[in-house]
């Protein structure tokens, strides 16, 4: 099989265009108490893959392969059968390749020489995390369905894929690891001087600002106290976060809106060009997995001069709420 393009980051970016999976199979069987959103099916069972786990799967299937209604999944390999299951809503790291159901050609893939891509195992498109639901870490799973249901119209267009919405695709996913889907620590009482935070059922935060004037000093407080491993400097940390500008109360960055948590290095821009905003680094290092933290970051603890994105005007006070989902 030939890989025509490798543009998975664009698919990740397009995952902000979330829609509920309208054509997922219903009545999926429980797997050790976990019910996947995409049920097993005979179409997906036609996909075989001889490549080693974590590498090009070299998948083959009879062509043309035609989606038969709802999307289907099939576990090609369960690894050693002892890996942790990907619960609904969890964060999973996967490697994946997408194939054209008509020709069998590989259309797009992750870079198998690098770390996999992070996705939330929720009902959404792109459905790469959804495919991994209830599978074990170390498993290889195939899914077959229409391009609209498994990739999504936005990602198809953004990547310039020559696929119509009703074209059949096969996707092979290698489940590499699993982390929390949201902070699960014990709730804490928030002090005065911070915006009020209300959480949606999936964990994403909403902000209410009572005071129009931002504080001038860095303020950090724990909203949920986790009990997991402590974040050390230079750790690679899996996070969900939302960043809001105090003055306008507008969201300027959010992993929740992308349906893709981030893997960030716990270091400061003061120490490394690949580091975090200094105030964010101070808020992160020393916290524990499972915690949710709010940080109000004044300009002096924000982006160094000339390094702020266009969405953050000079002199802005930023507010971040972040969930610590795991440490790589």
- Position 11 scores a pLDDT of 53
Q: How far apart are CA 169 and CA 163, in angstroms?
A: 9
Q: Are residues 36 and 164 in the same domain?
A: yes
Whether 202 maps to a domain, the answer reads yes
pLDDT tens for the 328 residues of the chain, in order = 333 334 455 555 444 333 333 344 445 776 778 899 999 999 999 999 999 999 999 999 999 999 988 999 999 999 887 899 999 999 999 999 999 999 999 999 999 988 899 999 988 889 999 999 999 999 999 999 999 999 999 889 888 899 999 999 999 999 999 999 999 999 999 999 999 999 999 999 999 999 889 999 999 999 999 999 999 999 999 999 999 999 999 999 999 998 889 999 999 998 888 899 999 999 999 999 999 999 999 999 999 888 889 999 999 999 999 999 999 9
Q: What is the pTM of this model?
A: 0.86
Among the candidates 149, 178, 207, a domain finishes at 178
Where a domain ends, among 178, 210, 232?
178
Residues 154 and 193 placed together within one structural domain of the fold: no
CATH code at position 228: 3.10.50.40
d(CA 323, CA 306): 28
155 and 235 in a common domain: no
Strand spans (E) along 168-305 = 168-179, 186-187, 196-199, 205-208, 219-225, 236-245, 251-254, 262-265, 292-297
Do 160 and 190 sit in the same domain of this protein? no
- Residue 306 CB-density burial (10 A; 0-12 exposed, 13-18 middle, 19+ buried): exposed
Same-domain status, 267 and 321: yes
Tell whether 2 is covered by a domain.
Answer: no
Residue 3 falls within a domain, yes or no?
A: no
CA distance linking residue 76 with residue 246, whole number of Å = 49
Q: What is the pLDDT of residue 5?
A: 36
18 and 84 together in one domain: yes
Residues 6+ apart with CB under 8 A from 156: 147, 148, 163, 165
Angle at 174 between CA 171 and CA 179, to 5 degrees: 120
Q: Are residues 227 and 122 in the same domain?
A: no
Q: For residue 300, give both structure tokens.
A: 């002096």
**Is residue 126 reached through a cis peptide bond, with omega within 30 degrees of 0 on the bond before it?**
yes
Same domain, 96 and 69: yes
Looking at 148, 178, 208, the residue that finishes a domain is 178
Q: In the prediction, which pLDDT does 60 show?
A: 98
| φ and ψ of 284, to 5 deg | -85, -50
- For the chain, how many structural domains are there in total? 2
* Residue 166 covered by a domain: yes
Same domain, yes or no: 194 and 156:
no
pLDDT value of residue 102: 97
Residues 150, 49 share a domain: yes
What CA–CA distance (Å, rounded) separates 24 from 223? 35
Host domain of residue 323: 186-327
């Amino acid at each position: 099989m030939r890989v025509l393009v490798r543009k998975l980051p664009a698919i990740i970016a397009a995952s902000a265009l979330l829609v509920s999976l309208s054509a997922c199979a219903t009545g999926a069987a429980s797997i050790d108490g976990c019910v996947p959103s995409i049920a097993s099916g005979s179409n997906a069972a036609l996909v075989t893959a001889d490549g080693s786990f974590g590498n090009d799967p070299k998948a083959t299937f009879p062509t043309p392969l035609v989606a038969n209604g709802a999307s289907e999944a099939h576990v090609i390999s369960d690894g050693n059968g002892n890996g942790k299951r990907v619960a609904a809503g969890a964060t999973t790291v996967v490697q994946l390749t997408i194939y054209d159901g008509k020709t069998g050609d590989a259309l797009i893939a992750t870079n198998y020489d690098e770390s996999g891509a992070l996705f939330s195992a929720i009902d959404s498109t792109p459905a790469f995390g959804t495919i991994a639901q209830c599978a074990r870490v170390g498993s290889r799973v195939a899914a077959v369905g229409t391009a609209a249901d498994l990739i999504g119209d936005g990602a198809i267009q953004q990547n310039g894929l020559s696929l119509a919405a009703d074209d059949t695709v096969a996707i092979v996913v290698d489940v590499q690891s699993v982390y929390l889907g949201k902070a699960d620590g014990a709730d804490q009482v928030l002090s005065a001087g911070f915006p009020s935070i209300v959480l949606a059922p999936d964990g994403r935060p909403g902000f209410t600002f009572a005071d129009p004037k931002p504080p001038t000093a860095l303020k950090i407080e724990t909203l949920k106290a986790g009990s997991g491993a402590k974040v050390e400097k230079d750790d690679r940390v899996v996070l969900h976060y939302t960043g809001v500008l105090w003055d306008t109360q507008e969201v300027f960055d959010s992993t929740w809106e992308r349906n893709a948590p981030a893997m960030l290095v716990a270091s400061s821009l003061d120490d490394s060009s690949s580091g975090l905003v200094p105030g964010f680094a101070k808020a992160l290092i020393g916290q524990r997995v499972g915690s949710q933290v709010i940080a109000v970051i004044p300009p002096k603890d924000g982006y160094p001069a000339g390094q702020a994105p266009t969405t953050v005007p000079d002199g802005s006070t930023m507010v971040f709420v972040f969930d610590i989902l795991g440490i790589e």
